[in-house]
A and B are shown apart, each in its own frame.
Chain A
Amino acid sequence: KAGVTQTPRYLIKTRGQQVTLSCSPISGHRSVSWYQQTPGQGLQFLFEYFSETQRNKGNFPGRFSGRQFSNSRSEMNVSTLELGDSALYLCASSQRSGANVLTFGAGSRLTVL
Chain B
Amino acid sequence: AQSVSQHNHHVILSEAASLELGCNYSYGGTVNLFWYVQYPGQHLQLLLKYFSGDPLVKGIKGFEAEFIKSKFSFNLRKPSVQWSDTAEYFCAANNAGNMLTFGGGTRLMVKP
Binding site for B on A (CB under 8 A): 3-4, 33, 35, 42-45, 48, 56, 58, 90, 92, 97-107
A48 to B105, CA, bound (A): 22
A42 partner, pick from B96, B97, B102, beta carbons under 8 A: B102
Known: A42-B104, A100-B32. A48 touches B99 (CB 8 A): yes
A97 & B97 in contact (Cβ 8 Å cutoff): yes
A42 to B90, CA, bound (A): 9
Binding site for A on B (CB under 8 A): 32, 34, 36, 42-46, 49, 51, 90, 92, 94, 96-105
A43 to B104, CA, bound (A): 7
Known: A3-B43, A43-B90, A104-B44. A99 touches B105 (CB 8 A): no
CB distance from A100 to the nearest CB of B (A): 6
A58 & B99 in contact (Cβ 8 Å cutoff): yes
A33, A58, A100, A106 pick with most chain B CB within 10 angstroms: A100
Which A residues lie within 8 Å of B98 (CB)? 56, 98-99
A45 partner, pick from B90, B96, B101, beta carbons under 8 A: B101
A45 to B93, CA, bound (A): 12
A68 to B44, CA, bound (A): 22
CB pairs A–B below 8 angstroms (28 shown): A33-B100, A42-B90, A42-B102, A42-B103, A42-B104, A42-B105, A43-B90, A43-B92, A44-B102, A45-B100, A56-B98, A56-B99, A97-B97, A98-B94, A98-B96, A98-B97, A99-B94, A99-B98, A99-B100, A100-B32, A100-B49, A100-B94, A102-B46, A102-B100, A104-B36, A104-B43, A105-B43, A106-B43
